[in-house]
Amino acid sequence: MTPIRSAAAVLALCATPAVAFDITDMTDAEREAFRAEVRSYLMENPEVILEAVETLESRQAAQQAQADSELVAEHSEAIFDDGYSWVGGNPDGDVTVVEFMDYRCGYCRRAKEEVEQLVESDGNIRFILKEFPILGEASVIASRFAVATRNVAGDEAYKQVHDALMSMSGEPSEVALERLAGTLGLDADAIMAEMESDAVREELQSVRSLAQDLAINGTPTFVMGDELVRGYVTIDQMREIVAEAREAG
């Protein structure tokens, strides 16, 4: 073995299945020469490093997507048919979009109109909202009020309250929530009482537990078909994901 090898020759040797290459078999001089050749090669061809990083990121993304798909399949009933989450859009749609949201989340507010535009313009999407308050006590109060409204007054009232809470600029104080209920013609006393019920607490805890099982720690997070989409995405990106879900389904 010569003291100095070209990096290309060494890399070719490493890549050949029939030849077992072990750097520990080198002498100290050969090892130093090898390192120098590799360094020289990388300095002359830095794009190799970028290619390696891109390949690694692509593999990691594919692995994450596969893991997410398995999580969605494992928890499909809790995601798509929990028996309490509000369902809109086309109830018989061929693709279901689920959103884990928080009323105090700026990106959730930003995504709201785009999600609704997606659902309305497509016409064949079943849309589910999951109350996932994670941004402090104000978020929890807002979600408790929304869920309590649905329990007391039904889905239509829930959606009205949901829309109002999404645009509310102030804190969701008791006075503000009572005023909101009155503005919408709802029974404020019944809703405020329901906010303290076991049913409301259990629903929010169930969604939180599901989010933990799905490794969701931020909002908005979407489930589109069998894909978990973590964070805000534009309507064009949503349409691409929905089209892929249709093609795969």
Model pTM? Answer: 0.76
Which range has the worst mean pLDDT, 36-45, 61-70, 115-124, 162-171? Answer: 61-70
- What does the block give as tokens for 108? 């959730």
Same domain, 57 and 80: no
Report how far apart, in Å, the C-alpha atoms of 46 and of each of 11, 51, 77, 170, 204 are.
Answer: 16, 9, 48, 52, 51
Question: Rounded CA gap, 217 and 100, in Å?
Answer: 10
Tokens 């995601």 -> residue = 79
Under DSSP, is residue 87 helix (H, G, I), strand (E, B) or coil?
strand
Same domain, 148 and 165: yes
Is residue 12 one of the residues assigned to a domain? yes
Same domain, 12 and 124: no
| Percent residues over pLDDT 70 in the chain | 89
pLDDT for the residue numbered 132: 98
Sheet of 95-101, strands arranged across: 86-89, 125-131, 95-101, 221-224, 227-230
pLDDT band at 21 (very low <50, low <70, confident <90, very high): low
- Domain boundaries, position 166: 76-248
Report how far apart, in Å, the C-alpha atoms of 202 and of each of 100, 206, 222 are.
Answer: 16, 6, 22
Say if residue 23's pLDDT is above 70. no
Of the residues 55, 73, 91, the one at which a domain ends: 73
Same domain, 219 and 239: yes
Same domain, 29 and 141: no
Same domain, 184 and 227: yes
